[in-house]
């Protein structure tokens, strides 16, 4: 029964990307200005709460860079990330990368290899290269435009 | 006297201090000491220098490009970075806390140490004057 409900929940969540904002309400301003300065402000719902906790605990040595920030902003960001974290997505490695989860790979399996290798994309974590509304939390299909390939029609 | 007042202003109210590139240049020049004059050519050489500290982030221009009026691209994440030129992007060099934060972070990564006030003044002179 539990499993059935989970599957149902997963299905129900599918079409929602077009309408839903992946940066839920209550986002601290510092999330955009800090966590959105070097890369896309990632959707909290694509990592588990434990993985966000681990990410926030290791900001001084964050993928080779120092992303540490003042305690007040860090606290507000952690609380918001953990509240809106995924309950389905599994542990995403050390350090956690949402781009390595089974969910992410499945969702992107139809994206051609050459798109990932384009110099304008550079990294799978460069969501905004293809999702033109990513900085504002919008991942609907109508806003997908892949460098070198163009608009995405399913 | 004037630089001294600016310095005082920065020390007292860093977050309230509304500034432009000229104030930053004056402030850092004052810190650099008597007789220092910021120089755009030195700033350009500084920005383009390969410091040999980080392979991917070898120079400031690795992310900000050689022309401060152009948008840059983060050398690791690929994210577009808005132009550093305050003529093109008026938000630049207006918030002392932000400017100091990024000098600290980027200098450590690229140069391997903090940048000196003289280097900061030269860098802004170059960026603000870019045509």
Q: Of the candidates B51, B38, B67, which has an alpha carbon nearest to the alpha carbon of residue B108? A: B51
Q: Which pTM does this prediction carry?
A: 0.89
| Residue-level pLDDT at B4 | 52
| Residue-level pLDDT at B16 | 42
Please report where in the chains the tokens 């940048």 appear, as a residue: B115
Domain boundaries, chain B: 20-128
Q: If you average pLDDT over residues B66-85, what whole number do you get? A: 95
Query: What sign for the dihedral angle of Cα A130, A135, A136, A139?
Result: positive
| Residue-level pLDDT at B55 | 86
- How high does pLDDT run on average in chain A? 89
Digit-coded pLDDT (tens) for A34-79: 999 999 999 999 999 999 999 999 999 999 899 999 999 999 999 9
Q: Is A100 on the interface with B (CB under 8 A)?
A: no
**Does the pLDDT of residue B50 top 60, yes or no?**
yes
Q: Are A144 and A59 in contact (CB under 8 A)?
A: no
| Residue-level pLDDT at B15 | 41
| Residue-level pLDDT at A81 | 97
Please report where in the chains the tokens 């006297």 appear, as a residue: B1
**Integer Cα distance of A99 and B52 in angstroms:** 30
The answer to whether the Cβ–Cβ distance between A65 and B105 falls below 8 Å is yes
Domain B20-128 in this protein, CATH class: mainly alpha
Structure tokens at A37: 């300065």
Q: Which residues of A125-151 are buried (b: 16+ CB within 10 A; e: fewer)?
A: bbbbbbbbbbbebbbbeebbebeeeee
Closest chain B CA to residue A41: B79
Comparison of pLDDT for B68 and A11, the residue scoring more? B68
Question: Taking CB atoms and an 8 Å cutoff, what residues of chain A touch B76?
Answer: 38, 63-65, 122-123
The answer to whether the Cβ–Cβ distance between A123 and B78 falls below 8 Å is yes
The answer to whether the Cβ–Cβ distance between B78 and A63 falls below 8 Å is no
| Residue-level pLDDT at A90 | 86
Lowest pLDDT segment from A19-23, B14-18, B64-68, B76-80: B14-18
Digit-coded pLDDT (tens) for B4-39: 544 444 444 444 445 799 999 999 999 999 999 999
Lowest pLDDT segment from A12-16, A43-47, B112-116: A12-16
Q: Are B74 and A39 in contact (CB under 8 A)?
A: yes
């Amino acid at each position: 029964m539990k499993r059935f409900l989970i599957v149902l929940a997963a299905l129900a969540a599918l079409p929602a990307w077009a309408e839903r904002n992946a940066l839920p309400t209550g986002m601290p301003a510092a999330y955009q200005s800090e966590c959105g300065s070097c890369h896309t402000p990632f959707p909290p719902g694509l990592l588990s709460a434990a993985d966000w906790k681990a990410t926030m605990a290791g900001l001084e040595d964050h993928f080779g860079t120092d992303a540490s920030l003042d305690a007040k902003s860090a606290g507000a960001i952690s609380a918001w990330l953990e509240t809106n974290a995924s309950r389905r997505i599994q542990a995403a490695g050390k350090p956690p990368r949402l781009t390595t989860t089974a969910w992410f790979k499945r969702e992107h399996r139809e994206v051609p290899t050459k798109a990932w290798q384009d110099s304008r994309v550079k990294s799978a974590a460069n969501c905004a290269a293809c999702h033109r509304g990513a900085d504002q939390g919008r991942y609907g299909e109508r806003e997908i435009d892949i460098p070198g390939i163009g608009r995405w029609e399913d | 006297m004037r630089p001294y007042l600016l310095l005082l202003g920065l020390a007292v109210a860093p977050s309230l201090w509304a500034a432009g590139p000229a104030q930053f240049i004056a402030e850092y020049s004052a810190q650099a000491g008597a007789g220092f004059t910021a120089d755009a050519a030195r700033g350009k050489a500084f920005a383009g220098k390969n410091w040999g500290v980080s392979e991917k982030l070898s120079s400031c221009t690795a992310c900000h490009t050689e022309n401060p009026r152009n948008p840059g691209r983060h050398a690791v994440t690929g994210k577009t970075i808005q132009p550093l030129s305050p003529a093109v992007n008026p938000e630049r060099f207006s918030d002392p806390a932000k400017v100091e934060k990024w000098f600290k972070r980027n200098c450590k990564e690229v140069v391997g140490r903090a940048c000196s006030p003289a280097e900061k003044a030269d860098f802004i002179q170059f960026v603000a004057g870019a045509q």
